[in-house]
Each structure stands twice: as structure tokens, then as C-alpha cells.
């Protein structure tokens, strides 16, 4: 049956993690996969999540959730992304569906875009982007186009290229937007630039599909990180999709907690698209996993726990910011050739170093420092014990 099957190379980041785990070198450093680590390099269970688990353990059952997921979770997730005021205004024009984390939300969005329109729109994706975007949409049969997002010289956002790409895009196309903490570059538009982008989306009749995998995790403040989502829906009055993940901001990587939100312009469209999401979800996963959604909604629905979660967001984002600074300082003090300003201009979980593939390879093979092939590092993998080693190794490699 499958003699025509193709061999598909393993996912680069998951393969890198396996390589790291198999490396016996004691000083090895994993800057590959984007998972938060505490100051000792260990996974961190958020205290707010711990508390939520304790509350749940007394009343947990293992029943199926409804097809579109836990109602309280969907409501809290939408309130979080939109903020309570916009949520109150928009709630009757909202379709929501719990998903298998952020990836599942993107996939559901793709299914809806394919099934809910007379013709299949083109999908515009920034270059570079998170490695899975192309796969998710290409595997659903969409034609994916890319546009230059980052200027390779400045290693910063290329806003002119972004504007030009939108102006040249076919009307009624979909554009994937990283809501904040663009992965891998760590470069986001300013508020003024977001306003201009929203204006062009409106003018060109483009559909914004927000990938929101880092709300609150980026700046430590959800309202800041959700700025673009709220601007597009409230101020620019655009219909928009939002793909939420609670993997990073609650540390619920393996529980697969996510939600797809669709802000429509009429109640009737919301009812119809909600029914389509239900059908699409039923045929794919029947109903989503319960445990993680219960953890998240317990936190979001309770003022005290929500505050504890906000404190956890600050713990994570502050530690990442201080490690970003520490790496920058070490690169400068050890005399690393070139300019490193881009590293401290970027924000979020990742640092985009701008190293050549041969340097990335040398760091892995000679120094046991693992990072993505495009020289993206997960800053959370740095700590007081390894940051000097990483900075010095980069400097040595560049000077060789
Ligand atoms: N989008 C982006 C930009 C991401 O970086 C990630 C996580 N690496 C995701 C979506 C989704 O991840 P998950 O499916 O684990 O929520």
C-alpha cells in the first residue's frame, strides 16, 4: 500500500532535543526548543498551576468534554485575549473552540477557512517564521506565500517590506500574524506600525489570523501583548481569527491547552461558524482533552489565582530579560566581533543571533551548545551557571 510513500526528515527542533539529550558532555547547553527553564535549568511548574491542580484534585472526574470544549475555558480564554470590555461587546459575534494547543488552533482555523468559504484563500506567511506554519497550512492544501519580515542587515523588522507585501497581496487572502514576540526574530511592530498595518488589512480586505502563543509571556503583561489583537478587532473593526496557546504562558506544554477564537461582524456569522467548528472538531478529535483546560480555566476564573499567574508571568519574563542582557554583556566584554544591539532590541522567549550555519554547527560539535539552525536561541535555556560559557564560546568561534 505504501511503496510510493516519501521519507520525511524528522522535525529539526525535536531532533535537536534528542541529540542534546544523548550528549554525555557535562557542560552541554540546550538553547533549542522553546520551553521555559528555571535558574537551575529545570522545567518549572508554575505555582499558580500547582495551586489549580490542588483545587482540581478534589473534584476531578474523567468525563468527556463537549465537542467544542469546556465552556468556562472558552469564555475565559476569549476574555483574556480580548480584555473584559471588548469581550462584553463582541461576545455575541464570537465563535470559539477549544483546541489542541496553539498548533491545533491554527489547524482548526485552516479547516474553517477551507470549509467555510466558496474558494480557498491564499495564506501569506512572514519569512522567517515558526517552522510549523508552512506545514500546517500546506498540509491542508493551501497555497502559501511568504514575505520578508526581517532585514538581514539590521536583524530588525523590515516594516517597509511588510507594508509592501500586504499592498501587493491578493484581496481576500489570509495573513498569519505573530500577535507578539515574533518567533524566531523577537521583533514586533510598534503601536504606530500596528495601526498602519490594520489600516492596510482593511483597505486590502485581508483576513488577519493571529498566532498568539506568547500572551503575557512576552512582556509579563497580557494587555500589552494582546495590543494588536484588540486594535484590529475593536479599533479597525476587522474580522479576525486568534489562535491561543497556553503552552508557554502557563507552562502547560504537554497538556495541549489552546483555543481558536473567531471575531465576526454579525451574530448570524458567529452562529454559523460556531456550528462549523463543532462539526470540524467532531470529525477530527471528537472532543478535546479536559485536564489542561480545567487547570487553565480554574486560574483564569478566580481573581486570586489569576493574580498569582500574573506574578508567575513576571517571574518568567523577568528572568528571560535578565539572561538576554547577561548574554549581551558577556558577548561585549569578551570582545565578540560585530554588533549585538539586535539581541537587546528583541523581546520574548527567543534571541535571533544572526550567526552563520557553520558557526551554529561548530558551537554544537565543539562546544556542545545546541541552537536552531537559523541561530535562534531559547533564552530560557541560559542561567547564571552557563551564560558566560555560552558568550565566551560564541566569541571564540567567531574569532577562529
Ligand atoms: N506558534 C508559535 C509562533 C510558536 O512558537 C508555538 C510554539 N512553539 C506555537 C504556535 C504552538 O505551540 P503549541 O502547539 O505547543 O501551543
Cα 399 to ligand 1 centre (Å): 35
Residue 369 has pLDDT above 90, yes or no: yes
Strand partners, 37: 43
Question: Of these residues, 188, 211, 225, 312, which one is catalytic?
Answer: 211
Residue 350 has pLDDT above 90, yes or no: yes
* Residue 383 and residue 39 in contact, taking contact as beta carbons nearer than 8 Å: yes
Question: How many whole angstroms separate alpha carbon 206 and alpha carbon 126?
Answer: 15
- pLDDT value of position 190: 97
46: Cα within 13 Å, side-chain hemisphere = 30
Q: Which residue's CA is the nearest one to ligand 1's atom 1?
A: 213
- pLDDT value of position 153: 87
The total of other beta-carbon atoms located within 10 Å of residue 209's CB is 26
Question: How many whole angstroms separate alpha carbon 33 and alpha carbon 333?
Answer: 27
Share of the chain above pLDDT 70, in %: 100
Q: Which residue carries 501583548 as its cell? A: 225
Using CB distances shorter than 6 Å, the residues near ligand 1 are 34, 101-103, 130, 178, 183, 211, 213, 245, 247, 258
- Given the CA of residue 349, which atom of ligand 1 is nearest to it? 5
Segment 310-318 mean pLDDT = 97
- pLDDT value of position 271: 98
- Given the CA of residue 105, which atom of ligand 1 is nearest to it? 14
Q: Which band of pLDDT confidence, cut at 50, 70 and 90, is reported for residue 204?
A: very high
Domains of the chain: 12-45+317-399 (3.90.1150.10), 65-301 (3.40.640.10)
- pLDDT value of position 215: 97
- pLDDT value of position 138: 97
Sign of CA dihedral 265, 268, 274, 276: negative
Pick from 5, 113, 55: which is nearest to 305 by CA? 55
Residue 234 has pLDDT above 90, yes or no: yes
Q: Which band of pLDDT confidence, cut at 50, 70 and 90, is reported for residue 354?
A: very high
Question: DSSP label at 37?
Answer: B
- pLDDT value of position 37: 96
Residue 197 has pLDDT above 90, yes or no: yes
Cα 350 to ligand 1 centre (Å): 13
Segment 187-216 mean pLDDT = 98
Cα 247 to ligand 1 centre (Å): 8
- pLDDT value of position 22: 97
Pick from 255, 263, 159: which is nearest to 210 by CA? 263
Pocket probe for ligand 1: among 35, 125, 183, the residue whose CB has the most ligand atoms within 8 Å is: 183
Question: How many whole angstroms separate alpha carbon 137 and alpha carbon 106?
Answer: 8
Complex ipTM: 0.99
Pocket probe for ligand 1: among 13, 34, 101, 102, the residue whose CB has the most ligand atoms within 8 Å is: 102
What are the cell numbers at 12?
529539526
Residue 44 among the catalytic residues = no
3-state helix, strand, coil in the chain (%, to 5): 50, 15, 40
- pLDDT value of position 137: 98
Residue 400 has pLDDT above 90, yes or no: no
* Residue 381 and residue 37 in contact, taking contact as beta carbons nearer than 8 Å: yes
Question: How many whole angstroms separate alpha carbon 193 and alpha carbon 163?
Answer: 9
Question: Between 400 and 375, where is the model more confident?
Answer: 375
Question: Of these residues, 248, 309, 312, 362, which one is catalytic?
Answer: 248
Segment 99-123 mean pLDDT = 96
Q: Which residue carries 486568534 as its cell? A: 242
Pocket probe for ligand 1: among 247, 285, 378, the residue whose CB has the most ligand atoms within 8 Å is: 247
Residue 367 has pLDDT above 90, yes or no: yes
Alpha helices in 303-350 (DSSP H): 303-333, 341-345
- pLDDT value of position 324: 97
- pLDDT value of position 17: 95
Torsion angles phi and psi, residue 270, rounded to 5:
-65, -45
Strand partners, 377: 351
Amino acid at each position: 500500500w505504501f511503496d510510493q510513500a516519501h521519507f520525511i526528515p524528522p522535525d529539526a527542533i525535536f531532533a535537536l532535543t534528542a541529540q542534546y539529550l544523548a550528549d554525555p558532555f557535562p557542560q552541554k547547553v540546550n538553547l533549542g526548543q522553546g520551553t521555559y527553564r528555571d535558574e537551575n535549568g529545570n522545567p518549572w511548574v508554575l505555582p499558580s498551576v500547582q495551586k489549580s491542580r490542588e483545587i482540581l484534585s478534589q473534584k476531578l472526574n474523567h468525563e468527556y468534554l463537549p465537542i467544542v470544549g469546556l465552556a468556562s475555558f472558552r469564555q475565559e480564554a476569549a476574555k483574556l485575549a480580548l480584555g473584559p470590555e471588548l469581550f462584553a461587546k463582541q461576545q455575541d459575534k464570537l465563535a470559539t473552540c477549544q483546541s489542541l494547543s496553539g498548533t491545533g488552533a491554527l489547524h482548526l482555523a485552516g479547516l474553517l477557512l477551507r470549509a467555510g468559504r466558496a474558494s480557498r484563500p491564499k495564506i501569506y506567511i512572514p519569512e522567517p517564521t515558526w517552522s510549523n506554519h508552512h506545514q500546517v497550512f500546506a498540509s491542508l492544501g493551501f497555497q502559501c506565500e511568504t514575505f520578508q519580515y526581517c532585514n538581514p542587515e539590521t536583524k530588525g523588522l523590515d516594516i517597509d517590506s511588510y507594508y509592501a507585501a500586504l499592498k501587493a497581496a491578493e484581496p481576500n487572502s489570509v495573513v498569519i500574524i505573530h500577535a507578539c514576540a515574533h518567533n524566531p526574530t523577537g521583533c514586533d511592530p510598534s503601536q504606530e506600525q500596528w495601526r498602519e498595518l490594520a489600516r492596510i488589512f482593511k483597505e486590502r480586505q485581508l483576513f488577519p489570523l493571529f498566532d498568539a502563543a506568547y500572551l503575557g509571556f512576552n512582556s509579563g503583561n497580557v494587555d500589552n501583548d494582546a495590543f494588536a489583537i484588540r486594535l484590529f478587532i475593536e479599533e479597525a473593526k476587522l474580522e479576525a481569527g486568534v489562535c491561543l496557546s497556553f503552552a508557554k504562558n502557563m507552562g502547560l506544554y504537554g497538556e495541549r491547552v489552546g483555543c481558536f477564537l473567531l471575531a465576526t461582524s454579525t451574530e448570524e456569522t458567529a452562529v454559523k461558524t460556531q456550528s462549523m467548528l463543532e462539526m470540524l472538531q467532531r470529525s477530527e478529535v471528537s472532543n478535546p482533552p479536559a485536564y489542561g483546560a480545567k487547570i487553565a480555566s480554574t486560574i483564569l476564573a478566580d481573581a486570586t489565582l489569576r493574580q498569582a499567574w500574573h506574578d508567575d508571568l513576571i517571574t518568567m519574563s523577568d528572568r528571560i530579560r535578565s539572561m538576554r542582557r547577561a548574554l549581551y554583556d558577556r558577548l561585549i566584554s569578551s570582545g565578540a566581533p560585530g554588533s549585538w544591539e539586535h539581541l537587546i532590541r528583541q523581546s520574548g522567549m527567543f534571541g535571533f543571533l544572526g550567526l552563520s550555519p557553520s558557526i551554529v554547527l561548530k558551537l554544537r560539535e565543539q562546544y556542545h551548545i545546541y541552537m536552531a539552525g537559523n541561530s535562534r536561541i531559547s533564552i530560557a535555556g541560559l542561567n547564571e551557571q552557563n551564560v558566560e560559557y555560552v558568550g565566551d564560546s560564541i566569541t571564540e568561534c567567531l574569532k577562529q
